[in-house]
Structure 1
């Protein structure tokens, strides 16, 4: 007897968009396409939501005129992934990305606010973002109350990894004139 194993059906962005347009998913569903797999996301808790609001409030002021702010919106990474990071700073675009989703080359900063998804954000998402050369990836780590900063993507990882506390400050690598006090976002 030959063993038969269940097989995954991986999908690409074109099929993902067709499924959305066909109304296959309920309007309140929270899902991402990561490396061809449709993943259900956990509901957003109040602490997570509040930290996303804080990032949005603070970094929008600092980036005004220098970047497009995108909150919990898709970014297309190749043909198999369309995550919805918590916060993005994107290269300025005349139409504010109304004619297409941003792609990796548009991203200046990508931020995930993380509590229940910390392991996923440190592993699968980190590899995904590094593989697509996202220049700067932050994890607002709500478990350990710190900011994890990842820079210099190479071969599916980041060469520079720094953990910062509320007492620290940093400048963005793509927008070095912007300095952030970690206490403002934690």
Structure 2
């Protein structure tokens, strides 16, 4: 075994401090995380977020525009904003459909019970989103997650979380789909994956 590999294994076996959501917020309040820091708190660890490319940004803008036009005044469409999942996680999904609140969540960030749908747009982060974020969302009872796989031009739909696992998984490249809790918000995948 190489020395470098042995050092990595030793480092990975060492206890780590898991940051709480409160500590994470204090770091921001103290200026340790500046406005340009693109990090999210996942299971107590600060994870650097990938840069947003034009395809990724375009898909986020598409979903934002579509959901706002279809659901205005019924739900809050949140774009790349934090969702508090327990004491050690505050991810920033690309799109969240949230239960309507007149205060627009000014007093506190949303929690799992506020979420109707989360969408993650994946281009360079597909494996991470599949292996880390989707299970995190399932373990906190998020009712539905859409994972938009830009590279393979498909939408993975996860529904019905039980005991930390989604019971339903569907994968589509064509057709129309609506969130289970917002059935009037029909998305045509021909618009999501146009023939450019």
TM-score (norm 1): 0.94
Correspondence list, 1:24-39, <5 A: 24-39=32-47
Does the 8 A contact of 1:75 with 1:103 survive in 2? yes
The structural deviation recorded for 1:183 is: 2.0
Instruction: Tell me, yes or no, if the aligned pair for 1:58 and 1:184 is still in contact at 8 Å.
Output: no
**Contact 1:69 1:89 (8 Å CA) reproduced:** yes
How many residues are matched? 183
Contact preservation (8 Å) 2:28, 2:34: no
Structure (1 or 2) with the greater helix fraction: 2
2:186 counterpart residue number: 179
**What SS class does the counterpart of residue 17 from structure 2 fall into?**
coil
Give secondary structure in 1 for the equivalent of 2:146. Answer: strand
State yes or no: 1:81 paired with 2:82.
no
Per-residue deviation, 1:7:
2.9
Equivalent runs, 1:78-117 vs 2, <5 Å: 78-117=86-125
Distance across 2 between alignment mates of 1:184 and 1:132: 31
> Which residue among 43, 46, 50 is the counterpart of 2:58?
50
In the alignment, what sits opposite 1:147?
A: 155
Q: Kindly provide the CA deviation profile for residues 97-153 of structure 1, in whole angstroms up to 9, marking residues without a partner as x.
A: 111100000000100000111011111101110011111100111010011110001
Q: If the length of structure 2 is used for normalisation, what is the TM-score?
A: 0.89
Partner in structure 2 of residue 170 of structure 1? 177
**Contact 2:67–2:185 (CA under 8 A) maintained in structure 1:** no
* In 2: Cα distance, 1:53 partner to 1:18 partner: 31
Computing the radius of gyration from Cα coordinates, the structure with the larger value is 2
Q: Determine helix, strand or coil for the equivalent of 1:126.
A: helix
Unaligned runs of 5+ in 1: none
Deviation of the 1:185 alpha carbon = 2.6
**By how many angstroms is 1:26 displaced?**
2.6
For structure 2, list consecutive stretches of 5 or more residues without a partner in the other structure. Answer: 1-9
User: What is the Cα-based RMSD across aligned positions, in Å?
Assistant: 1.4
